[in-house]
Every structure is written in C-alpha cells, then in structure tokens.
C-alpha cells in the first residue's frame, strides 16, 4: 500500500519571502533604479519586523510598500499573511485576493487565498480557488486533496468522494484517503460503504491489525455487534498471537459488559513480549479509576499486574506499577517488596523512593525509614520531601539534634509549597519541644501555622504544650477549638480542649469534653483516663477519680505521677 505524502503548502503561513519574483510581478518596471533600491530596503525592513514578532510595525511597513507600488504581489501576500496571524480574517482575505489576482499562477498565493477563506469558514469560495488551481495544475494531487477537504467541510459529500476517488485512481489504495472517505460515508449514514473502505484497506494490507479493529469499531458504533465480533474472529484467525488483536477483542467484550471475557483477553495480551510494557502500563492506568468504582474487578487487575511482572521481571516500571496497585489495596508489605525491587533495578526512580518512605512511615518502621531516607537523600539531595521523612525518623529515634539539622536543611530546599513548609516547621517544633527549648519550639509552631493556619496537629500539640506550661491559655483554647471543629471525633483533640479548660479552672466543662474523648475511644488511652480522673478529683469525686487513675494504670501510657496519685488517693501535679 502506498502512503500519501501531502506537501505542507501552508508553508505560506511561515511566510517565506517571495521577493525574488521577476521585476514585472514586483512592479519594478515603473520604478527607477533608485526607487527600486528604496523599495527593497523598505520590504526587507518589513520582513525583519515580522520575524521579530512586531506585527503592527511590519504591517505598517508593508502598507508603505503598497503605497509605492499598489500591485506588488509580494507585499500584498506578506500583508495578508500578517493579518491572518493577527486574526484579522477580512483584511487577510482582501490582500490575499489582490496578491492572487496580480500573480494567478503562483501556487503560494492561491493556496494562501484558499486558506484565508477556510479560516473564515467560507468553504465554497475556497473550493472555487482550488478548482481554478486544478485547471492550471491538473496533475497536482495536493490541490485535489485540499479541494476534497473543503468540499467535505462544506458538506458537499458526493463531490468530495469524487475528488478522493480521483486521487485514489492515481495513487491506489491509500490509508489517508480511505479514512477520509469512511468519515464522509458515516456522515452520509452509508455504513456499508464506510465498511467497504475499511475492507479495501484490509485487502491492501492484510497484516495490519489496525484496520480490522477500525472496521470492528465502526460496526460497534452503529450497533452491529454481530458483524464486529465476526471481524474480530477474522483478525484472530489471521493473527492468533497478535496482542493488539486480543486487546481489541477485549474492548469489544467490555463494551458489552462482559468483564470476565475482557480480562481474559487482556491476560493473553499481557503474556506477550510483543506488547510493549508502556502499553500494558497504559491499560492498567486506564483501569485504575474503574476498579475504584467497581472494587469487584480489582482481583483481575492485580492478576494482570502479576502477569506483567512475570513477563517483564527486569524492568523497574512493571514492579513500581504493581506496587502502586498493592499500595492502593493497603497491602503494604507486598507493595514495599515491589517498590524495593523497582529501585534495585533502577535506583534513579525518585517517585518510587518516595513511595517506599511513605509506606515505611505508615508501617511505623522508623529504623527502615531512617535507612532508606538517607539512601534517597544521597541519590536526590535536592528533593526536600526526603528530608522531612528523615527528620520524622530521627524524631522517632529520639535523635533530636539530627532531626533539627535535617529538617532545617529541608526547609532551605523548599519553596512555593506551604503545606510542606508547615509540615517541616511542625516537626521542627516537636524536636525543639522534646529538647525542652520552648522558645524555638513556639517559634517553629508559629511558622507552621503561618504557612498553614489549619494544620490540625500543630493546633492541637501547640495548644496542649501551652496548657501544660499554663501559658497563653486563651490562645491555646482558640487553637484547640479550631482543631476540634475540623475533626470533632478526634480523641486527642477532644482531650486537649478539655485539658485546657481544666488548666483554666473550668472543671465542669473540662469533664464534659474529656468525657467526649472517652466516648470516642479515649478509654483505651491511659493519659486521657488519667486526665478524666484529675478532673473528677477537682470536682470532689475522689473515689471515681481513683478508679479512673487505676484504669489508666492498667491501660498504660499515663504520667510519671500516676502511681503516686493512686497510692496517696490524692492529686499530684508538676510544679
């Protein structure tokens, strides 16, 4: 089958200079040598401004050229070109008509005039220009192709088909021509003739599976499922091992709601080495959202991932894709295995490293998080998020100085990301707090809230630490109240708000809020049980207070004064 190479006649849009025409076309016959030299300088100056993008200046200079020589074809053409680029279609048509009339044999000018008409959707006038060009150049197929195109745009379908047939008579079966004819027949609702065009392509190139798929899609789009299935059967009979054929058949089954058959065909395709890995990844990505909406399909997609990994075991992309699916399904252990395999095959995959650190963070495997974040920082020293993970790992390992150092470094690498900066300063505040540097801790928390006023963890922790110190209780109450408003069922936030009320001497209200924390699951946390006991003691309910302290002791996680409270049946507080 021959391929049709359409010349880009619209190179006129890039406006190659046509000043090298004969003097008669340029109008020099009426000019003296001095006038001709002056005209040339003006014309080239206009072209220079056009190249520099100074269209208004260029238009003014070309207009001055026309004042010197109104019938200069090149100046009319250049001015028409400028106006087309500026979106001034009426002006472009005016000057392109003048250029075409001065030099009717110049293909550039005639094509440009037709293009100006097309831009204004004056397809009938564009067609007239092409017909005149066909008379002058009957063997130029580019002109006939353009004529067929404007006839189709003008809904002169039968005439367009005639032109395409003339081109086909010269070139034989050509994909671009057949596809254009197919589209026209579809517009004419002549599906059988559209299908015949596809059959011609199949006959001309029987080993190209695309044409079978196109024919099947045509049938499917017109509710002729039986013909579509027969087309797929022909394709698979011809190319039983072609993975694209199985993908096409799979899409047919999916369109019919036959999901099992769809995945069965995909499985065959995925086992083929002939199907590029990128295509498999593309298919898996296309199924990502559908499996979120229809979780019952997840098992089949995961099976495709397994096949992909088995077929491409040495490619990091297959393992990272499988890892993403496993991560979404909360299978963190297996996801981490796939991610680690991916970076073993290709350590330069930053996003996979980031997923590794995220999984280890969620697993609370902080020793692994510290190790892998250090490796990742060596590989990607300018990626600030890695320093956040490393800082968190150091905090969990109670390495406050190391945490402060790495978090500070991460901040210097971060810009235009307020959420990330807030997280950095939040963890920096935690580090300084643990080091008992309240001044730097408060300063860090303030910066965190400056970048994200709704950072609920800072709102909670900062307000709690202020209450423990008995400082700025009204500000602490406001921050804690905001955190509770954002997450009204969070036991820590409810307890913090109640504790601030307790520190402010509002014991009844404190009892209500810490009670809500207990009802929301706080009864499994020793510090909340202990807080509730403290409130009850302040309210004179000694026996109940001791009971809650004892519950806190059995659960674990209370303060260092808890045992003494129980032993003395008395409230002990840090000075």
Q: What is the pLDDT of residues 35-58, one digit of tens each?
A: 888 888 989 898 898 888 898 999
Sorted by sequence, the CB contacts under 8 Å of residue 525 that are 6+ apart come out as: 491, 555, 557
Asked whether 352 and 320 are in contact (CB, 8 A), the reply is yes
CA-CA distance, 152 to 145, in Å (whole number)?
11
Asked whether 572 and 561 are in contact (CB, 8 A), the reply is yes
Name residue, tokens 């579509």. Answer: 228
pTM for this entry:
0.71
Across 3-41, b (16+ Cβ under 10 Å) vs e yields eeeeeebeebeebeebbebeeebbbbeebeeeebeebee
Domain annotation covers residue 95 = no
The HSE-up count of residue 39 (CA atoms within 13 Å, CB side) is: 22
Q: Hey, is 342 helix, strand or coil?
A: helix
Q: Hey, is 185 helix, strand or coil?
A: helix
Full domain range(s) for residue 549: 482-575
Q: 540: which 2 tokens?
A: 């004179």
What CATH number is attached to the domain comprising 534? Answer: 1.25.40.10
Sorted by sequence, the CB contacts under 8 Å of residue 13 that are 6+ apart come out as: 81, 84, 85, 115
Give me the pLDDT at residue 410, please: 97
Domain annotation covers residue 519 = yes
Give me the pLDDT at residue 47, please: 87
Torsion of CA 41, 45, 48, 53, to 10 degrees: -160
Q: What region, left, alpha or beta, does residue 398 occupy, with left being phi > 0 and alpha being psi -120 to 50 degrees?
A: left
Give me the pLDDT at residue 575, please: 66
Asked whether 231 and 218 are in contact (CB, 8 A), the reply is no
Q: 257: which 2 tokens?
A: 């709601």
Nearest-5° angle of CA 105, CA 111, CA 116? 130
Q: 483: which 2 tokens?
A: 């955190």
Domain annotation covers residue 509 = yes
CA-CA distance, 503 to 299, in Å (whole number)?
54
Element (H or E) spanning 69, and its range? Answer: none
With CA atoms as reference, report the closest residue to 1 among 143, 236, 211.
211
Give me the pLDDT at residue 514, please: 94
Give me the pLDDT at residue 464, please: 93
Domain annotation covers residue 70 = no
Domain annotation covers residue 565 = yes
CA-CA distance, 535 to 62, in Å (whole number)?
89
Q: How many structural domains compose the chain?
A: 1
CA-CA distance, 256 to 568, in Å (whole number)?
76
Domain annotation covers residue 470 = no
CA-CA distance, 211 to 204, in Å (whole number)?
10
Sorted by sequence, the CB contacts under 8 Å of residue 554 that are 6+ apart come out as: none
Give me the pLDDT at residue 532, please: 95
Domain annotation covers residue 504 = yes
CA-CA distance, 231 to 165, in Å (whole number)?
26
Nearest-5° angle of CA 409, CA 412, CA 413? 95
Q: 487: which 2 tokens?
A: 């997450």
Asked whether 500 and 467 are in contact (CB, 8 A), the reply is yes
CA-CA distance, 374 to 372, in Å (whole number)?
5
DSSP-H helix ranges across 27-88: 33-51, 55-68, 73-85
Asked whether 151 and 50 are in contact (CB, 8 A), the reply is no
Asked whether 423 and 454 are in contact (CB, 8 A), the reply is no
CA-CA distance, 387 to 379, in Å (whole number)?
12
Q: Which residues of the chain have pLDDT under 50?
A: 1-29
Domain annotation covers residue 547 = yes
Give me the pLDDT at residue 13, please: 36
CA-CA distance, 113 to 347, in Å (whole number)?
57
Q: Hey, is 230 helix, strand or coil?
A: helix
Measure CA of the first residue to CA of the last residue in the chain; give whole Å: 93
CA-CA distance, 129 to 157, in Å (whole number)?
18
């Amino acid at each position: 089958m021959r391929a049709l190479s359409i010349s880009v006649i619209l190179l006129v849009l890039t406006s190659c200079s046509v000043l090298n025409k004969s003097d008669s076309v340029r109008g020099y016959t009426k000019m003296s040598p001095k006038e001709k030299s002056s005209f040339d300088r003006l014309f080239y100056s206009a072209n220079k401004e056009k190249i520099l993008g100074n269209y208004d200046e260029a238009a003014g200079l070309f207009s001055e050229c026309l004042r010197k020589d109104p019938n200069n074809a090149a100046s009319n053409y250049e001015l028409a070109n400028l106006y087309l680029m500026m979106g001034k279609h009426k002006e472009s048509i005016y000057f392109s008509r003048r250029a075409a009339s001065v030099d009717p044999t110049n293909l550039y000018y005639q094509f440009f005039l037709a293009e100006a008409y097309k831009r204004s959707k004056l397809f009938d006038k564009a067609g007239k220009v092409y017909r005149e060009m066909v008379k002058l150049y009957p063997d130029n197929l580019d002109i006939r192709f353009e004529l067929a195109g404007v006839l189709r745009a003008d809904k002169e379908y039968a005439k367009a088909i005639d032109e395409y047939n003339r081109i086909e008579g010269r070139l034989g079966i050509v994909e671009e021509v057949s596809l254009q004819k197919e589209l026209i027949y579809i517009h004419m609702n002549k599906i059988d003739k559209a299908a015949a065009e596809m059959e011609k392509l199949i006959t001309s190139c029987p080993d190209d599976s695309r044409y079978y798929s196109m024919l099947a899609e045509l049938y499917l789009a017109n509710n002729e499922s039986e013909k579509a299935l027969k087309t797929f059967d022909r394709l698979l009979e011809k190319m039983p091992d072609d993975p694209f054929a199985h993908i096409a058949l799979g899409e047919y089954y999916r369109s019919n709601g036959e999901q099992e058959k769809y995945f069965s065909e995909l499985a065959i395709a995925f086992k083929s080495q002939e199907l590029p890995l990128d295509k498999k990844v593309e298919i898996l990505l296309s199924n990502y959202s559908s499996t979120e909406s229809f979780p019952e399909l997840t098992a089949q997609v995961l099976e495709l991932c397994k096949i992909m990994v088995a077929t491409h075991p040495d490619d990091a992309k297959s393992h990272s894709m499988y890892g993403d699916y496993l991560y979404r399904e909360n299978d963190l252990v297996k996801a981490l295995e796939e991610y680690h395999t991916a970076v073993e095959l290709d350590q330069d995959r930053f996003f996979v490293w980031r997923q590794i650190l995220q999984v280890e963070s969620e697993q609370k495997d902080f020793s692994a998080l510290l190790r892998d974040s250090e490796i990742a920082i060596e590989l990607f020293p300018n990626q600030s998020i890695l320093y956040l993970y490393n800082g968190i790992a150091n905090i969990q390992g109670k390495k406050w100085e190391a945490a402060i150092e790495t978090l500070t470094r991460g901040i210097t690498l971060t810009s235009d990301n307020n959420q990330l900066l807030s997280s950095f300063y939040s963890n920096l505040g935690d580090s300084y707090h643990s080091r008992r540097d309240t001044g730097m801790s408060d300063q860090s928390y303030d910066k965190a809230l400056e970048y994200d006023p709704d950072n609920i963890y800072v709102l909670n922790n900062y307000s709690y630490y202020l209450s423990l110190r008995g400082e700025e209780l009204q500000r602490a109450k406001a921050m804690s109240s905001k955190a509770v408003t954002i997450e009204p069922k969070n036991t820590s936030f409810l307890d913090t708000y109640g504790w601030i009320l307790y520190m402010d001497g509002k014991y009844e209200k404190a009892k209500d809020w810490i009670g809500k924390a207990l009802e929301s699951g706080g009864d499994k946390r020793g510090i909340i049980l202990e807080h509730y006991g403290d409130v009850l003691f302040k309210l004179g309910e000694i026996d109940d207070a001791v009971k809650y302290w004892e519950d806190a002791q059995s659960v674990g996680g209370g303060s260092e004064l808890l045992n003494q409270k129980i032993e003395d049946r008395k409230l002990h507080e840090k000075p």
